[in-house]
Structure 1
Amino acid sequence: MNQKIRHQIFTRWRAENPHPTTELEYNSPFELLIAVILSAQATDVGVNKATRKLYPVANTPETIFSLGLDGLKSYIKTIGLYNTKAENVIKTCQMLIEHHSSIVPDTREALEALPGVGRKTANVVLNTAFGQPTMAVDTHIFRVGNRTRIAPGKNVLEVEQKLLKVIPKEFMLDAHHWMILHGRYVCIARKPKCGSCLIEDLCEYKEKTEIDSE
């Protein structure tokens, strides 16, 4: 795929959705951080259901830490892997209190040092909370990058590095949101909805579906 086509793809996505953002609900960098930690191998819908009950009660490092492990688990037990996630969230809150004055850091190194925070989570927080042009490659972006040939790669890091290199700078800040939404609702895993795809004529996927699949 050449740069002219990539530019057209992102131009169309921007025209359709000028201000994309995460579907996780949050009102502060801390709320976003916790929501992203909870979202690993879980849906945004499921995480939002839990945080709608949790955040009115506890939405700072101190208040969540004071809930304790069992207290936190009672709010997030509907989310997959909640035992491990609860431990990570409590430890993260403790680290934020002790080492960062309860403020979410805005550097990759500091974020990735927090329990339960890997490269993808750090990228989401850096991009969405702090406006940094990072690329958080999840399964949706990995699939879209490879299927469309915008940025093919053997693993998530390869796709991330390629996207950072080939996405035109004017689209970089919002690019990962457009790609996630495209993968979540149009270029779905089992059978992509090529018939109703905004970029069907620009995509280089060889096995396009003839009609919009339900």
Structure 2
Amino acid sequence: MNNKKRYDILTRLRDNNPKPETELNFSSPFELLVAVTLSAQATDVSVNKATDKLFQVANTPQAIFDLGVDGLKSYIKTIGLYNNKAVNVIKACEMLINLHQGKVPQNREALEALPGVGRKTANVVLNTAFGWPTIAVDTHIFRMANRTKFAMGKNVDQVEEKMLKVTPAEFKVDVHHWFILHGRYTCLARKPRCGSCLIEDLCEFKDKTE
């Protein structure tokens, strides 16, 4: 795919949704960090149902740490892998309290040192909470980037590297939201909705659907 076509794709996505936002509910960088950690292999809807109740009771590192692992589990038990996630979130809260004065660090290395926080989660927090031009590649972005041929790669790291390289600066802060939402609602895994896709004529996917 050439850069002109990429620019046109991003322009259409921006025109359609000028200020894209995550579908996770949060009101602080810490709440976002917890929500993204809980969202691994879970839907945003299931995470929101749990955190809407959790954050009413505890929405700071100290408050969630005070709940303890078992107390936290009672709020997130409807989410997949909740046992491991509860342990990781409590450990992360302890580190935030002891190492970062209870604040979420604006630093990739410090974020990725937190239990349960990998590169993708760090990218989401840096981008969505702090406005960094990072691109968090999830399954939707990986599929869409390869399917359209916008940024092809054999794994998420390769796709992230390629997207960072080919995405103009003016689009970098929002591109991961556009791709997630487009992949979630239009460029579906099993049968993409090509007929209702606003970038169908620019996409280089060969097996388009009606």
Give TM-score scaled by structure 1 length. Answer: 0.98
| Structure 2 SS opposite 1:72 | helix
Note if 1:65 corresponds to 2:61: no
**In the TM superposition, what is the alpha-carbon distance from 1:122 to its structure 2 partner?**
0.2
**In the TM superposition, what is the alpha-carbon distance from 1:127 to its structure 2 partner?**
0.2
Q: Distance in 1 between matches of 2:200 and 2:99?
A: 48
Would you identify which runs of 4 or more consecutive aligned residues in structure 1 move more than 4 Å?
Answer: none
Q: Structure 1: which 5+ runs fail to align?
A: none
**In the TM superposition, what is the alpha-carbon distance from 1:78 to its structure 2 partner?**
0.1
Q: Distance in 1 between matches of 2:52 and 2:173?
A: 27
Q: Structure 2: which 5+ runs fail to align?
A: none
Q: Distance in 2 between matches of 1:121 and 1:167?
A: 20
Aligned match of 1:36: 36
Q: Distance in 2 between matches of 1:155 and 1:36?
A: 20
Aligned match of 2:170: 170
**In the TM superposition, what is the alpha-carbon distance from 1:17 to its structure 2 partner?**
0.3
Aligned match of 1:126: 126
Correspondence 1:169-208 to 2 at 5 A: 169-208=169-208
Aligned match of 1:8: 8
Q: Distance in 2 between matches of 1:5 and 1:95?
A: 45
Q: Distance in 2 between matches of 1:169 and 1:144?
A: 20
Equivalent pairs counted in the alignment come to: 210
Letter in 2 for 1:176: H
**In the TM superposition, what is the alpha-carbon distance from 1:168 to its structure 2 partner?**
1.1
Correspondence 1:18-57 to 2 at 5 A: 18-57=18-57
Aligned match of 2:112: 112
| Structure 1 SS opposite 2:57 | coil
Q: Distance in 2 between matches of 1:181 and 1:122?
A: 19
Q: Distance in 2 between matches of 1:169 and 1:92?
A: 32
- Cα shift readout 1:105-142 (whole Å, capped 9, x = no counterpart): 01110000000000000000000001000000000000
Indicate the percent of aligned positions where both proteins have the same amino acid. 73
